[in-house]
Amino acid sequence: MEEKVKYLLSRFSALTKQEKEIVMRIGQPAFDFIEDIVSEEVLSDPNHLLNSMAKLSKNILGEYSQAVLVDIEDGIFLVDSEDMVVGAMLRQEGRYQKEEIEAIKSFINNDSKVLFVGAHIGVFAVPIARIVENIVCIEANLSSYKLLEYNMKLNNITNCKLYNTVAFNYDGEIDFIINRENSGGSKIVPFGNLDPYVTETSNIVELSCCRLDSLLKDQDFDVVIMDLEGAELFALLGMPKILEKVKLLFIEFIPHHIKNVAMIEISAFCEPLEIFDKLIIPELSKEIDKEDIPSVLKVFFECDKSFDSLIFKKK
């Protein structure tokens, strides 16, 4: 690497003044990025690294760029140009949690009615919509919601309805953290420890929230797919009528979200899930019977074991 740097410097020295100015203008974002990441602050905090990477992406693409188009196996998607998690995976690898999408597909058919609670930009919703009868998507982050709208149109998805709101256990307003460098990590302002979820570029805004039983009155769903970065319990408490008819619930399980964001005990998390008869853990290839679900989740909670998706199933 040192030899490569020496070689590049020697080539740079041989350039004319005008050529050097062009190289500096093009390369400045990369130089700023290197300066950022070698600082002690960035090296000690992953959030600062994400911020620096997001800044580099924005600087290279230009200040007026808002999204980048990716063409992948599951469809055509506009992704946030500053997103360094889902967006970066789609831009660089052409996929994001493909195994989870395939797991969902194995449980649905042409007659399925699916509710996505926390749809983000539609990476899961688009391929699922092509299979099922209809879908409804809830997304709180306005920037992600706009991309979700575009992505449905880009992929000619017509059997969907979209709502820009926070799924919660009351109708009103709630404070919400918007993260650009990890837009999928945007969430309600935690009731507990705020520090792990706020970066120097985070923006806290007030958004409308509602009970899904109120918003989606008289609508039935077979399947619910939920990823709310810690607000899952509150959404579940706001949709008991919907859950009565749901056969399958796919839900993210992250103990530090339950502890810090929702600020609840695992027993409270388990209460609205008592209507289900089985817990399927795809990552472990295990099925848990109804009576053992609370104790198994307690073990995962206490040892801080996270899962991208747990599947709760009725008979």
Contact of 93 with 81, CB cutoff 8 Å: no
Distance, in Å, from the CA atom of 226 to the CA atom of 253, rounded to the nearest integer, reads 10
Distance, in Å, from the CA atom of 290 to the CA atom of 302, rounded to the nearest integer, reads 20
Distance, in Å, from the CA atom of 121 to the CA atom of 284, rounded to the nearest integer, reads 28
Instruction: Give the predicted TM-score (pTM) of the model.
Output: 0.84
257 DSSP assignment: I
Strand pairing report for 172-178 and 166-167:
unpaired
Other beta carbons within 10 angstroms of residue 273's beta carbon come to 20
Domains of the chain: 2-61 (no CATH), 97-313 (3.40.50.150)
Distance, in Å, from the CA atom of 264 to the CA atom of 230, rounded to the nearest integer, reads 10
Three-state DSSP class for residue 246: coil
Q: What is the pLDDT of residues 153-204, one digit of tens each?
A: 999 999 999 999 999 999 999 999 998 888 999 999 999 888 888 877 789 9
Distance, in Å, from the CA atom of 124 to the CA atom of 227, rounded to the nearest integer, reads 11
Which pLDDT band holds residue 22 (cuts at 50, 70, 90)?
A: low
Distance, in Å, from the CA atom of 303 to the CA atom of 266, rounded to the nearest integer, reads 12
**What is the gyration radius of the CA atoms in the chain, in angstroms?**
22
Query: Which residue type sits at 129?
Result: A
Which of these, 170, 176, 160, 171, lies nearest to 115 by C-alpha position?
Answer: 160
pLDDT at 165: 98
- Beta strand extents in the chain (DSSP E only): 67-72, 75-80, 113-117, 134-138, 160-163, 166-167, 172-178, 187-188, 203-210, 223-226, 248-253, 278-281, 286-289, 307-313
Contact of 143 with 54, CB cutoff 8 Å: no
- Beta strand extents in 146-272 (DSSP E only): 160-163, 166-167, 172-178, 187-188, 203-210, 223-226, 248-253
pLDDT at 209: 98
Q: What is the pLDDT of residues 66-100, one digit of tens each?
A: 788 999 999 999 999 888 889 989 988 999 999 99
Contact of 176 with 187, CB cutoff 8 Å: yes
What backbone torsions phi and psi does residue 187 show, to the nearest 5 degrees?
A: -160, 170
Q: What is the mean pLDDT of the chain?
A: 88
Which pLDDT band holds residue 233 (cuts at 50, 70, 90)?
A: very high
Residue 166 in tokens? 């926070």
